[in-house]
Amino acid sequence: MEAESTERGAAALKLQFAPFCSALEAGFWQQLTQKKLNDFRLDESPKNIKGYYYNGDAAGLPTRLTLEFSAFDVDGASPARCCPASGTLYNTNTLEAFKTTDKKALLDKAANEIWSTIQSGAVLEDSSILNKFILLTFAITVCVYDPCTLPQHPGWPLRNVLVLLAKQWGSQLDVLEVLCFRDRTLQGSRSIQHSIIFRVKLPDLTASAVCPKSVGWEKNPKGAMGPRSVNLSECMDPKRLVDKVVSTRCLLLGAGTLGCNVARTLMIAEGYNMSIPMPGHPVNFSELTMAQARQDVEQLEKLISEHDVVFLLMDTRESRWLPTVIAASQRKLIVNAALGFDTFVVMRHGLKKPKDSQSEETRPMSYDFGSFSGASLFSNIPGHRLGCYFCNDVVAPGDSTRDRTPDQQCTVSRPGLAMIAGALAVELMVSILQHPEGGYAVASSSDDRMNEPPTSLGLVPHQIRGFLSRFDNVLPASLAFDKCTACSLIVLDNYERDGFQFLAKVFNSSHSFLEDQTGLTLLHQETQAAEVRLFITLCVLMFTFRPEPDVTVPSL
C-alpha cells in the first residue's frame, strides 16, 4: 500500500517506509529443530508463530522483527516495551519444495487476510494483525556431525544413521537432504564453509528383518586386510626412556650450598677448580693475570661445549654473565638458580635457534609488543624467545661485592631454601629434557595450572619464583630483551667475532661499556629526557592555571 502526504503550497512528496529486517535468534532455530523432529515431522501445513519489534533501538540500527525461542507460544506475553506481530510458518521438507513455492501467492494470501480484517473491523480488537508476517523455511531433515575432511564424501558415522532412517521411515522418505556439518578453527578464524550438503535416495527397509551386510575392518598401511603394528619403544621402553636423561651431561658452575644440593640429585660427578672472570672485575693487572683469565675462559668454553645442560649456581650476579654468553653462543640449555633470604628464582634461559636455521633472528629481537594482545603477551612464549637472567635488567652487571661487608657479600638465607631451589632446578631440567621440543618448549605459566599439562611430567615453566614466607610459588614468563647485556644478538656477535678481546674489555671496564654496546645508555638518556619534558609540561600547567592572589580556590 502506498500513501502520499501533500503540503499546501508545496509539491507532493511521496511517503516512504523502512521495511523490517528479520532477526531470528539461535533459540528459535533450536525450537524449530525440536518441533520438526518431534511434532511436525513431514507435515508441511502452515503453523502459527509470533514475533515482536521494538522502538528503542540506537540510531543506525535496522528495523528488526525478532523471532526467539518463544515464537511458537502464540498465546504467551511479548517482552516488555515490545509490540507483538503474528505470523505464519511454512516449513518445507525438501529444497525443491522451498525453491518452487509460489511466494507471490503466499504474499497475496496474507494481504487478503489483513484486508478482510480491516473491512470487518476485527483489527480494531487486535491491532497485531496489521503486522502479520510470513516465514518460509527449509529444514534439513538430517544433520550429521561429520569428522571427514574430503570435499565430496561424508565420514563413516553417516552410514548407520542412513540405515536407521531407512528402517524406521523408509516407506515415507524417498529422497533425503543430508547436511554433513564440519566445524574448523584455523589461525583464530572459525569456518563451516567446508560442510557438504547432498541428496540420498533411501531404500525401504521397514519390512526387512535381515541385518544388512556389514563392513568396517581397517586396512593396514599397504591397503590390504591385515593387522597394524605400532612401535611403542620410544614412549614405553624403560631403557630408551631413561637413555636421554642418563646420557645428559650437566655442568654445575658453583659448588656452594646451592651447587652441592643440585649435585645430590644428579648421578656421577667430576670436579674442576677454576675461576670465572666477571664484568667489573679487572684482569689487566699484569700479563700473568691476563693469561690466567684467557686460560679460564678457554677452559669454560671447552667445558660448556662438552656438556648438554649448564647450571648457574653462583653467589654473585656478575659471575653468571660469562657462562650465559658462552652457552647462548653455543646453543646450550641453561638452568639458573639464585637465592635471597626467603625467596628464590629457578629459571631456564631462552635457547637460541641453531645458527643455520635462525632466519627470523637475523635481526635483534626487538619484538613489536603492540602485536601481542592482552594475556598473549606473557603466555605461549616459545623457548627461543624466552629471556635470560639478565633480560629483566636495565643496567649491566658490575662488581656487586665492592663496598660491602663480609656478611653482605655472602647470601644469608633460610636453611631449607637451597635444598628447595636445587631440587626444583633439577626437576625443571628433567621436565625440559622429556618434552618433545626440549629447550624450545613453550613456557607454561601460573595460568596453565588448571589446564591439561603439556607432558606426562606436567608443566614446563620459564621461571619458578618462590616465597618461603608465604610458602608460595609463581610461574612467570618473560620475553627476551633486545638490549640484554648477555643474550642479545649484538653481544653474541661481538663475542663470536672478537672472542677474548671483547671479553677483556668487559672485564676491565665499568658497566657503562656493555650499556653503550647494547643501547641501554641511549635508553637511559631517552628516559631522562622524557622525564624532563614531563616535568617542564607540569610546571607550565601549574603556572598557566595558577589562581590570582585574591581568588579563593577550594581544596580538593
Higher-pLDDT residue of 440 and 551 is 440
Spatial neighbors of 311 by CB under 8 A, at least 6 apart, are: 250, 251, 252, 253, 254, 259, 262, 334, 335, 336, 337, 425, 429
Q: Which of 89-103, 453-467, 537-551 has the highest mean pLDDT?
A: 453-467
The active-site residue out of 143, 391, 410, 484 is 410
**Per-residue pLDDT at 188:** 67
Q: At what angle do helices 257-264 and 417-434 cross, to 10 degrees?
A: 50
**Per-residue pLDDT at 194:** 87
Q: One fold for both 15-138 and 238-354+378-513? A: no
Span of 95-99, 352-356, 434-438, 536-540 with lowest mean pLDDT: 536-540
Grid cell, residue 242, equals 631413561
Q: Where are the alpha helices (DSSP H) in 265-314?
A: 287-306
CATH of the domain spanning 238-354+378-513, picked from 3.40.50.1460, 3.30.1490.190, 3.30.1280.10, 3.40.50.720: 3.40.50.720
Dmax (CA) for the chain in angstroms is: 118
In this structure, the number of other CB atoms found within 10 A of the CB of residue 249 comes to: 12
Span of 56-65, 227-236, 449-458, 543-552 with lowest mean pLDDT: 543-552
- Residue 266 DSSP SS3: coil
Q: In percent, how much of the chain has pLDDT > 70?
A: 85
Q: Where are the alpha helices (DSSP H) in 360-483?
A: 406-409, 417-434
CATH class of 15-138: alpha beta
- Residue 550 DSSP SS3: coil
| 485/517 Cα distance (integer angstroms) | 8
Put residue 393 in one of left, alpha, beta given phi > 0 → left and psi -120 to 50 → alpha: beta
Whole-model pTM?
Answer: 0.55
Give which of 311, 310, 315, 318 is closest to 338, Cα–Cα: 315
Higher-pLDDT residue of 534 and 152 is 152
**Per-residue pLDDT at 376:** 46
CATH class of 142-201: alpha beta
pLDDT, the chain, mean: 83
Mean of the pLDDT values across residues 34-56?
Answer: 87
**Per-residue pLDDT at 367:** 46
* Per-residue pLDDT tens over the stretch 281-330: 898 888 899 999 999 999 999 999 999 999 999 988 899 999 999 999 99
Grid cell, residue 300, equals 669454560
Confidence band for 556, pLDDT divided at 50, 70 and 90? very low
β partners of residue 334 = 310
Q: Are strands 196-201 and 333-339 parallel, antiparallel or unpaired?
A: unpaired
Q: What is the DSSP letter of 18?
A: P
pLDDT above 90 for 243: no
Put residue 121 in one of left, alpha, beta given phi > 0 → left and psi -120 to 50 → alpha: left
Q: Where are the domains of the chain?
A: 15-138, 142-201, 238-354+378-513
121-124: list long-range contacts, CB under 8 Å, 24+ apart: none
| 255/319 Cα distance (integer angstroms) | 13
**Per-residue pLDDT at 374:** 41
pLDDT above 90 for 226: no
Would you call 260 a catalytic residue per the annotation? Answer: no
Confidence band for 488, pLDDT divided at 50, 70 and 90? very high
Span of 109-118, 343-352, 366-375, 513-522 with lowest mean pLDDT: 366-375
Burial of residue 91 (CB within 10 Å: 0-12, 13-18, 19+) is buried
β partners of residue 247 = none
3-state secondary structure 180-243: EECCEEECCEEECCCCEEEEEECCCCCCCCCCCCCCCCCCCCCCCCCCCCCCCHHHHCHHHHHH
**Per-residue pLDDT at 365:** 46
